[in-house]
Structure 1
């Protein structure tokens, strides 16, 4: 199987939208969607998508 730098980077990262997923989970319990969006520098739509993704896991 052929390995590439890009492939290894994607497997080594544990984030969605450039956000550490575990950090988002801990802060999601205590903060509103607006606070999460402003802290992580993402839109409210991306916060909703992340929360939807959490419920599927």
Structure 2
């Protein structure tokens, strides 16, 4: 079976934009977008993309 680097990354980690999805879901309930961005060290646009991604799944 062939393994690609992209496939290994998708199975080895649950991080998107370097953010642990489970931590993000817990903190998004109580924190504002600005607080989330500063907490995880990402931009406001990435926070918006993560929230949109969570609503799709």
Q: Under a length normalisation based on structure 1, what TM-score does the superposition of the two structures give?
A: 0.87
The unaligned stretches of length 5 or more in structure 1 are none
In the aligned structure 2, how far is the partner of 1:3 from the partner of 1:46?
A: 29
Moved over 3 A (4+): none
Of stretches 6-15 and 34-43 in structure 1, the one that deviates more from structure 2 is: 6-15
* Residue number in structure 2 paired with 1:13: 13
State the aligned residue count.
56
Q: CA RMSD in A?
A: 1.2
Matched, 1:37 2:37: yes
Q: 3-state DSSP class of the match of 2:22?
A: helix
Give the drift of 1:54.
0.7
The unaligned stretches of length 5 or more in structure 2 are none
In the aligned structure 2, how far is the partner of 1:35 from the partner of 1:3?
A: 38
* Residue number in structure 2 paired with 1:53: 53
Give the drift of 1:9.
3.5
